[in-house]
Structure 1
Amino acid sequence: MYRYYTSNTIFVRAVDVIAAVLATMNASNCKRAENSSWAVYVFVVFAIFSSLSGVVGWAICLIACCGILYWHKYWSNYGKIPLVACKKNTKLDKFLERHISTLRHPYMPLYWCPGARAITIIRYFVPCVGHLELKREILHADDGGIFGVDWCHNKSSSQYSEPSTRPTIIIVPGLSSTPESGYIKSMTLCLVERGFRVVVLIYRGLGNLKLKTPKTHCATHTSDLATLVDVVHERFPNAKLYCIGASLGALIVGRYMSERGDDVRIDAGLLFACSFHPPICMEEFELWSNKLLLNFQVTQGLKENYRRHSHVFESVVDHEKVEKSAFLRDFDTHFTAPVFGYKTTEDYFNDSIFWGDKMENVKRPLLCVNSNDDPFSPERGLPKMEVTQTENVALVMTYGGGHVSHLEGWNPFSKSYFEKIMVEYFDAMIQGKY
């Protein structure tokens, strides 16, 4: 009798929980509540089973309850159609509406791990499966420095069999990324499958390259990209040329397109996880939720690369201060700012901002894809209103996605949401639909 009474009480409370969950779901989204009704029915069955089976049934009931609450939280934060910010009735606005069908579908971050930091870390560790035939070339800069380029000529391309007119896409990676980085390799594979020639820029001192001068790379250093663009254009003058920038690379590409204006040799650009406003981004990156898990690790990676070339910077930076840098702001203060001639870190951050007039100077279509929970570039640092004042810049903000990730569904190895946008964007461009 006692056992039955306890189980029955559990059952009644379980039904109350169901009613509360349903009420909340209905208040937020009736359609989603209807679509999730199957979960409620399953939960009721578990609750009935609990009234008959004691502890085991209660355990199953508790697990089901947690599952429903998790699913409700997921739908409250994710599974939404992305925000598209663009000046209305412009050529770019009509192009995105007509030809980028992915933007009309909700982005569903990994069902089993949708959190921003978690999905960012998963993207970093998930290996990219696929083979690429890359040919490395060393290019010389005007200041005596060298940087690398990995070419994937895609000679077997059936879509664009003529090499002289095969469209080319330059990829400018993130802060310490190389062609071997998982997200860069994944993007390259997607583009190669579509028939494009792909060129990946390798920053000075990365990818086992020697450092010839006391200069590496930063958000405002665009001369190496300019050199690469000129090289590609000279070798393939009849081929369309596009450019993708990811993370730090996005700031470099955006700045380059702004500096060149009408003289830019890029036909269209695509920015992925751009840190538009570095001062705001650094504030977010210094929150304790990001500081130890991400900020510290990124800084250690930069210091490790610095140690390989520390002898080159003996007369430029204070070695001991660089070594003591625990977080990114410290590293930028003691290394990046002095190397690139800035008096303070704030001067460097402010000069890196891609906003306002810099956006208005972009004269080719430029699509920017960010997430609202990017720990490197928070929503409050996204130019959602500013892009609507420009003719050639548009911003897509997904709900969820982390940093340079956008993994979705169940399978982290499948094509990401960003890669779907990327492929549609460049396919439509090369087909002359812009």
Structure 2
Amino acid sequence: MIDCLYDSLPNLPRWHVLGIAVVGYVVYYLFQVAKRPILAVSDGPFKTFLMKNVPTLETKFWPTFWCVESRAQTVFASILRSQILPKINYDREILTLKDGGEVALDWLESGCKSDSPVIIILPGLTGESQAEYIKCLVTAANNAGIRAVVFNNRGLGGIPLKTPRLYCAANCEDLSEVVNHVRKKNPHVKLGATGISMGGLILGNYLSNHSEEAKRILTAAKIISVPWDVHKGTISIETPVLNCLLGRHLTSSLCRTLSRCEIFRDTDIDWDRIMSSKTIKEFDALFTSKQFGYETVDHYYDAATLHNKLHKISVPLLCLSAADDPFQPLDAIPMKAAEESSHVAIVVTARGGHIGFLEGWWPSSKDQYMGRLFSEFFTGALFDHDKQFEETSKFLSEYRFKKSKTQLDKIE
């Protein structure tokens, strides 16, 4: 019967063939593409809070019908948001760090009360406060009445380097200074933090390596499209052909960032060789890992990776990943660890690419999936009108106390 069907296809009118193709794609989209996201977190107050305050988790994610492929989502999201979202007029603050370096903190507080909560936002690999995905989140925060401050890494945001040091995914010393600075400026309001892609690695390492400090200062945190296992992430982004092209583009961005840092020309780095890097791993091997004192690039990636650090985090954390993220294979997302965690929740959509998550027939609305999930979570966590999130934090404190006591009893 199937052979007869194939034999008859060439004889059908073109519009019949087109109709069959359209119907086939619609069926594929409805059953394989549009799906409700997976939520990995253990039962308890945090999961209860999420299900009550983040309604987006209860509905299917409907990726843009003509743009479901992961690389297409990644690229078109950047292009479309850059056209939709206007330039934001931030209030810039220059923060001088302990070693004499400087970073730019870009604030958007217009329309918000002086005592409203604050979210610190960390861009990706070479992102700045005017990056389209950052403007998406900043706009979502502002619409929710939450003040936002974007932490531009050293050498970014138009600020020249004062010391021969950039940034890396495993080092969170600068973020610690920024977090303490924002707390000092806003001693009586709730603070949140969000990191995107490499910014998520920096934030995640801060949450795990500075666990007690983070717990004392931050109320809630969120990371988006983070490469959980950096080793597997670099392998994925170097896969021919399309992933490799994305990787080449990011590597070029890294080289351009370094090329603007004239201060490094007087150091002993192999400038020409670094500038000829073709992959992110090659750039990290020649420059990043050496600058931050790692023996090899693999040692650097060991320190940067997050998939094995969820148990060290003490701040309620929501994570958003796409199963088809070209920068991170699905098997690297620590779903099992999240399922056993009382306070780290991972949301995985079937599609979305890397910082994509485009939805709708024509994704022209400023209210996109990524921004909506962001605003729903932080509105509930930072305003916390019914004190439900406060119960989550209390439960976490009690849970960690009991766990520590159990471990001490075993030692004794």
**TM-score scaled to structure 1, two decimals?**
0.83
Measured in 2, the distance between the counterparts of 1:318 and 1:14 equals: 60
Q: Match for 1:359 among 307, 310, 313?
A: 310
C-alpha distance in structure 2 between counterparts of 1:428 and 1:14, whole Å: 55
Letter of the 2:208 partner, please give it: S
1:3-22 matches, cutoff 5 A: 13=5
Distance 1:363 1:408, change over 3 A: same
- Corresponding position of 2:398: none
More relative contact order, 1 or 2 (CA 8 Å, 6+ apart): 2
Kindly report which structure 2 residues correspond to 1:3-82, keeping only aligned pairs within 5 A, or say none: 13=5, 58-82=13-37
From 245, 261, 268, the equivalent of 1:293 is: 245
Which of 235, 246, 250 pairs up with 2:200?
250
Take 1:95 and 1:231, find their aligned partners in 2: how far apart are those partners? 29
Q: How far apart, in 1, do the equivalents of 2:235 and 2:157 lie?
A: 30
Q: Is the Cα contact below 8 Å between 2:163 and 2:263 reproduced in 1?
A: no
Secondary structure of the residue aligned to 1:242 is strand
Q: Hey, what does 2:269 align to over in structure 1?
A: 317
Residue 327 of structure 1, aligned match among 264, 274, 279: 279
| C-alpha displacement of 1:69 | 2.1
Counterpart of 2:322 in structure 1 is: 371
Q: Which of 97, 103, 108 is the matching residue for 1:141? A: 97
2:87·2:130 contact (CA, 8 Å) conserved in 1?
no
Secondary structure at the aligned position of 2:148 is classed as strand
Where 2:13 maps in the other structure, the secondary structure is helix
SS in 1 for 2:222: strand
The alignment covers a number of residue pairs equal to 379
After superposition, the C-alpha distances for 1:319-363 in whole angstroms (9 at most, x for unaligned) are: 12202211111111111111111111100111111133x211211
Q: Deviations over 1:148-174 (max 9, x none)?
A: 1101122x23xxx3x1x2110110010
Unaligned runs of 5+ in 1: 1-11, 18-53
Cα distance in 1 for residues equivalent to 2:107 and 2:334: 33
Distance 1:319 1:133 in 2: 35
Measured after TM superposition, the shift of residue 310 of structure 1 is: 4.5
CA distance in 1, matches of 2:54, 2:208: 24
SS in 2 for 1:390: coil
For normalisation by structure 2, the TM-score amounts to: 0.87
Of structures 1 and 2, the larger Rg is shown by: 1
Change (3 A) 1:130 1:320: closer
Superposed displacement of residue 266, structure 1: 0.9
Quote the residue 2:171 is aligned against: 221
Q: 1:117-128 residue pairs with structure 2 within 5 A? A: 117-126=71-80, 127=82, 128=84
Q: Which amino acid aligns with 1:403?
A: H
1:244–1:250: 8 Å Cα contact kept in structure 2?
yes
Inter-partner Cα distance in structure 1 for 2:18 and 2:199: 44
Question: Counterparts of 1:399-414 in structure 2 under 5 Å?
Answer: 399-414=350-365
351 and 245 in structure 1: CA distance in 2 versus 1, 3 angstrom threshold: same
Q: How do residues 119-268 of structure 1 correspond to structure 2 at under 5 angstroms?
A: 119-126=73-80, 127=82, 128-130=84-86, 132-154=88-110, 156-157=111-112, 161=113, 163=114, 165-264=115-214, 265-268=217-220
Counterparts of 2:99 and 2:268, CA distance in 1: 16
